[in-house]
Amino acid sequence: MGGNPLRLPALLILLLCSPAVAHSKCVLFNFGDSNSDTGGLMAGLGLYLGPPSGRQFFHRPTGRFCDGRLYIDFVCERLKMSYLTPYLESSPGSNFTHGVNFAVAGAATESTAIPFPLSTQVLQFLHFKNRTRELRPQGGRQFWIYNTGPLGCLPQKLALLKKDDSELDPLGCLADLNSAAKAFNAGLSELCDLLRSEFKNATIVYTDVYAIKQDLIANHTKYGFENPLMACCGYGGPPYNYKFRMTCGEPMVTACAEGSRYISWDGVHNTEAANSIIASKILSAKYSRPQIKLKGLCKG
């Protein structure tokens, strides 16, 4: 979303996986923000996210902040499941057979000074640990936890926060913001270790989404992308094509002809093309600790 330039994406995405007894298939409960919101904000608040969102796959707006499918959609496809329905969705066609999506756009951390002040980090960790403990008595035994990505590489952050090139790392991203994200991720990894020691009978998988997304940017030509730090749908042109209050979906804002050539859709969220690769890498388990494939957690 456009919003406050210091508004950061939610840092914790919790995916609870448990077997469905009847068919021995996955039942997923997804917690997150706009990166995995399949229409929750639209269902809950009636927010209409208009064209060109959804143009690549659904050919209509679906409440997704993307030109098509999100990484959670690709995960569902590859597990042969229906797309997750937002928990507030009550319209005909709602399907909660394979779980429910609690992700809502705007589930974010607010910072009035600098990103990740220590107090905010501690509150995030405590909230996450408490939510995990709350799910355990309800039968939650398998948790898939994603860390935060390289926030300093988001076109939105670069356009709004960069003062000069001395702030950039070799990839052209904001070095301090990425350092803060990595520090947060280190703490999250340690917290996962703590939870494993506390919940002996639970499976807790930590997935390094930071490394996945950084690889997309560092090796963008290998994946067929160009302008890895520039939004497809935005305003202002190179280098970032992002302007505050002139975001995707607003009048006078246009989208690139080929979203498949871009990593960033709107300066904050990924394109469907990038989401497809991200989902493949998540499902490969190569970026996970322990290296357990999500499909393996769905068996009996």
**Active-site annotation, residues:** 34, 266, 269
Cα–Cα distance between 101 and 99 in angstroms, integer?
Answer: 7
User: How far, in Å, are 23, 37, 130, 253, 296 from residue 81 at the CA level?
Assistant: 11, 17, 29, 35, 15
Strand partners, 281: none
Q: 């702030």: which residue's tokens?
A: 167
Supply the Cα-derived Rg of the chain in whole angstroms: 18
For residue 278, the Cα-to-chain-centroid distance in whole angstroms is 10
Q: From CA 177, how far away is CA 35, in angstroms rounded?
A: 19
Using an 8 Å Cβ cutoff, are 242 and 236 in contact?
yes
What distance in Å separates the CA atoms of residue 163 and residue 168, rounded to the nearest whole number? 10
Question: CA–CA separation, 289 vs 58, rounded Å?
Answer: 34
Is residue 103 within 8 Å of residue 13, measured between CB atoms? yes
Residue 18's DSSP bridge partners are 27
Distances (CA, A) of 183 to 113, 136, 153, 180, 194: 17, 27, 16, 5, 17
Cis check for the bond before 239: say yes or no (omega within 30 of 0).
yes
Please, are residues 154 and 242 in contact by the beta-carbon 8 Å criterion?
Answer: no
Strand bridging mode 254-255 / 233-234: antiparallel
Peptide bond connecting 5 to the previous residue in cis, omega within 30 degrees of 0:
no
